A and B are shown apart, each in its own frame.
Chain A
Amino acid sequence: MKLLKSIAILGLASVAGVVNAAESLTVYSYRQAFLIDPILEKFTQDTGIKVDVVFSKKGIAERIQREGQLSPADVVLTSDFSRLMELVEKDLVAPVSSDVINGNIPSQFRAPDNTWYALTQRVRNVYSSRDRLGKLDINYEDLAAPKYKGKICTRSGKHPYNAALVASMIAHHGEAEAKTWLQGVKDNLARKPQGNDRAQVKAVKEGLCDIAIGNSYYLGKMLADPKQVSWAESVFLNFPNQANRGSHVNVSGMVLAKHSKNKDNAIKLMEFLTSNVAQQAYAEVNYEYPVNPSVKPSKLVASWGEFKADALPIHKLAENHQAAIKLLDEVKFDL
């Protein structure tokens, strides 16, 4: 029996040849390479821990779920909140206990049970045409008003950023009212939802629509690209709902993967991501709002002015996410 066992092991081992290096981490990231790479390089310099990053726009949670306990993932970075929650709900995360992280991130930006942490805030804004509309004092609710008929451009409703906005409308107004609103927005669209947030601002510049829905950091990105400066300069950035509940805010964030084989190093990385250095990089490179209160937004971002953020607890967004997707299908928002 013993002989049989050792032969079997030998045979199987020859097929495999996969070795787990102790001093390396695998990060699955919904966030884009240009943003993450420089930060991780700094981490490797400081600690000597090598980080392999895998980027994907979709399907990371499904993938980790399928990989189960064999998953190589140590840390997962997401670009919005619904995906953080998806990972939590699918039971793919491990709680972290770290005083460093808890010291860096205020409690409203992390899970009470330490299963997820936000890293940056991202505001869903309304861009308006400088020439045709000027600066607006606008509420999300107004987007359904008849006066904007044929004037609004947006990306697919199913995109997490829009879906989260719809989820926040459901949280505030209930499903029925949110549906009426969504139908109203759909009726006001200048064209079928398509492209990304940037493309909507471009469409405003071209005169195809007067209002675009988009995250604020796109303004920074467009200003940084010589070809797109003129797009950015054709619009005003408006923080919606300032007179009442505040603008809808989404967060990017991170979790520790449940089956991580290097939990200690993974937590080191997570601590690093909440540190001033990394948070500063997020703020500068991607024009987002850091969650670490000791780090200020970049100069450019600060120049867009202060804004009041919706105080709705972030997990409410997740609770309404499925309902939001269903509403979007019901009013055939993308069709």
Chain B
Amino acid sequence: MILGLTRGWSLTGYTIAAIIILPLFALLLQAAMPDEEVFSHLYDTVLPTYIYNSLMLMLLVGFGSLIIAIPAAWFVARCDFPGRKQFQWLLLLPLAMPAYIVAYVYTDLFDYAGVVQRTLRSVFEWQTPQDYYFPEVRSLGGAAIMLSLVLFPYVYLLARTAFMEQSSSLLHASRIMGCSPWKSFWRLALPMARPALAVGVALVAMETAADFATVSYFAVPTLTTAVYDTWLGYGSLAAAAKLSTIMLLVIFVMVGVERFARRKQKLFQRQSDFNEADRYLLTGWKKFAATGYCSLLLWFAFIWPFAILCQYAFDYFEQSWSAEFLEYSLNSLYIAALVSFICVALSLLLMFIRRISPRSMDSLPSRLSSTGYAIPGTVLAIGVLSPLTLLDFSINDLYQYFDAQGPGLLFTGSVFALVFAFCVRFMAITIGSIENSYKRISPSLDMASITMGQNPKQLLWRVHLPLLKKGIFAGALLVFIESMKELPAALLLRPIGFENLATYVFQYVSDEQLELGALSAIVIVLVGLIPLIYLNRSLEQKS
């Protein structure tokens, strides 16, 4: 870029990045501390099971999401059948549903005391659990199904876009060369979509690794729940940090493998030449199969659990509509809005520096700041606390030095710790969306405005910002939903006396009384829906 940035800009970028990755360093430091042999005890006893459960779950959910999402994405992107237009966005809805709520609802239905087994028992006159076999809902497999139902939209979204953008002429060519539709899908479309699928599965696996509530409700201990238990059960922060480090290692290896697997894949295709006439018009049973498949998926992943939630909320409305409910809703909205705003502001600054700085090293801060998304909330909480506690004490010591009454726990005693952790975790989302929008702005525009005498601030404010508006908004919305839903970091970092909707609902879930928290759960879902619908609309307009 032709514009020389002052050192101040670089310094700001590096400072932001340093603050964002500070928790990671704190965590590693903490892991190096002695832990009174708690870790070696865990290592000898339960750790192998925790690791096995974590890996198995990531594998199963990744695989499950692929199987569920690919057909749906293909139907919607490339075929025509009744309801296609609606399913296009309806299938995103499950993303707004926290997995533990789906898990609760299905447990209520399918466990021994649930309607399904009760009916079976009365029909076949079985008396005891020994009389028949029924798969246990609260199990590793059960958790995998619940998480797949909720997380598949990540794969679906990316696969749908990939299929849409695939060159129609290639697919036509394959058909002319004698491929059946099935064969051309299998040998051409699917392999071409592989990079998108890989990214989708990586996202799903990360979300799975970070899941705390579903597995703890299902009593399937994973590394994430183990971190929580080791910290609060054994009281060993150091051992918890060691477990967290293993967890991070697993995740980074996974991300690495995913990158390695598609290192040689490059897509050479021009702008999508897709047009509506290229859709396969499904007829006969195929038409019903496609509609049926999408409807069933939507039914199980969203409509049914949501309907049951509404039923609960209706039945228990009086107990649920309380001053606390309103207070926690406001808390949730406030935190989510604050986090979105901070993430956008910082990401924008970092991406701006990266774009116009002549120094190649200035692209580093934005890359570093994206690592947080891979860190599960439980793990992140440990990393956030140690430096902030240190900071709190230093400030109070400073006051004491001046013989003054200190401010108390300024950072760990307020929502600061929570907001900080959320920002670290979700910055990657806004960085990604702003990066994408930047790609669409021609560099010559920057040059033109500088020639016209704009300084960097004016360039950012008057030229880039208006053009980035959409990307910024989309990113902010995603961060907003994630902040509403994020549970483990909130559980561990909320200041004394502070609850938000996620922690409130989870408390009821773990007490097996979701009925009373259903109203709050509905708010989480509904607030999550608005951004999803908006996001989808902007995606559609783009394509």
B8 at the A/B interface (Cβ < 8 Å)? Answer: no
Question: Which of B10-18, B54-62, B405-413, B479-487 has 4 or more CB atoms under 8 Å from chain A?
Answer: B405-413
B512 at the A/B interface (Cβ < 8 Å)? Answer: yes
B128 at the A/B interface (Cβ < 8 Å)? Answer: yes
Question: Which of B73-81, B230-238, B355-363 has 4 or more CB atoms under 8 Å from chain A?
Answer: B230-238
B130 at the A/B interface (Cβ < 8 Å)? Answer: yes
Nearest CB in chain A to that of B53: its residue = A335
Using A59-B232, A192-B138, A193-B219 as known contacts, say yes or no to A72 and B496 having CB atoms under 8 A apart. Answer: yes
16 interchain pairs (CB within 8 A)?
A8-B402, A16-B408, A53-B497, A59-B232, A62-B237, A67-B409, A72-B413, A158-B233, A191-B136, A199-B512, A206-B112, A208-B113, A325-B233, A329-B42, A332-B45, A332-B46
A39 at the A/B interface (Cβ < 8 Å)? Answer: no
Instruction: Please measure, in the bound complex, the distance between the C-alpha atom of A198 and the C-alpha atom of B511, giving whole angstroms.
Output: 9
B389 at the A/B interface (Cβ < 8 Å)? Answer: yes
CB–CB A58/B234 < 8 A: no
Question: Which of B286-294, B299-307, B392-400, B466-474 has 4 or more CB atoms under 8 Å from chain A?
Answer: B392-400
Residues of chain B at the chain A interface (Cβ within 8 Å): 41-42, 45-46, 49, 112-113, 127-130, 136, 138-139, 218-219, 221, 229, 231-235, 237, 385, 389, 392-393, 395-396, 398-399, 402, 404, 406-410, 412-413, 492, 496-497, 507, 511-512
CB–CB A67/B412 < 8 A: yes
Nearest CB in chain A to that of B507: its residue = A57
Instruction: Please measure, in the bound complex, the distance between the C-alpha atom of A177 and the C-alpha atom of B507, giving whole angstroms.
Output: 36
Instruction: Please measure, in the bound complex, the distance between the C-alpha atom of A83 and the C-alpha atom of B355, giving whole angstroms.
Output: 54
Instruction: Please measure, in the bound complex, the distance between the C-alpha atom of A15 and the C-alpha atom of B49, giving whole angstroms.
Output: 48
CB–CB B130/A59 < 8 A: no
Using A68-B393, A158-B233 as known contacts, say yes or no to A54 and B404 having CB atoms under 8 A apart. Answer: no
Nearest CB in chain B to that of A73: its residue = B496
Q: Which of A12, A72, A158, A203 contacts B398 (CB 8 A)?
A: A12
Instruction: Please measure, in the bound complex, the distance between the C-alpha atom of A61 and the C-alpha atom of B234, giving whole angstroms.
Output: 11
Ranked 9 nearest A-B pairs via Cβ: A16-B407, A206-B113, A329-B45, A54-B496, A194-B219, A58-B232, A59-B232, A54-B497, A208-B112
Instruction: Please measure, in the bound complex, the distance between the C-alpha atom of A330 and the C-alpha atom of B42, giving whole angstroms.
Output: 9
Chain A: interface residue count, which band?
A: 35 or more
For A194, what are the chain B residues with a Cβ–Cβ distance below 8 Å? 138, 218-219
Nearest CB in chain B to that of A158: its residue = B233
CB–CB B45/A62 < 8 A: no
CB–CB B229/A158 < 8 A: yes
For A71, what are the chain B residues with a Cβ–Cβ distance below 8 Å? 409
Instruction: Please measure, in the bound complex, the distance between the C-alpha atom of A101 and the C-alpha atom of B42, giving whole angstroms.
Output: 41
A63 at the A/B interface (Cβ < 8 Å)? Answer: yes
Using A202-B113, A203-B112, A208-B129 as known contacts, say yes or no to A12 and B45 having CB atoms under 8 A apart. Answer: no
Instruction: Please measure, in the bound complex, the distance between the C-alpha atom of A54 and the C-alpha atom of B406, giving whole angstroms.
Output: 22
Instruction: Please measure, in the bound complex, the distance between the C-alpha atom of A70 and the C-alpha atom of B229, giving whole angstroms.
Output: 25
Instruction: Please measure, in the bound complex, the distance between the C-alpha atom of A195 and the C-alpha atom of B514, giving whole angstroms.
Output: 13
CB–CB A70/B406 < 8 A: yes
For B413, what are the chain A residues with a Cβ–Cβ distance below 8 Å? 67, 70, 72
Using A72-B408, A334-B219, A335-B49 as known contacts, say yes or no to A62 and B41 having CB atoms under 8 A apart. Answer: no
For B42, what are the chain A residues with a Cβ–Cβ distance below 8 Å? 329
For A199, what are the chain B residues with a Cβ–Cβ distance below 8 Å? 512
Instruction: Please measure, in the bound complex, the distance between the C-alpha atom of A86 and the C-alpha atom of B398, giving whole angstroms.
Output: 31
For B219, what are the chain A residues with a Cβ–Cβ distance below 8 Å? 156, 192-194, 334
For B398, what are the chain A residues with a Cβ–Cβ distance below 8 Å? 12
For A150, what are the chain B residues with a Cβ–Cβ distance below 8 Å? 130
Q: Which of A1-34 contact B (CB under 8 A)?
A: 5, 8-9, 12-13, 15-18, 26, 28
For B395, what are the chain A residues with a Cβ–Cβ distance below 8 Å? 12
For B112, what are the chain A residues with a Cβ–Cβ distance below 8 Å? 203, 206-208
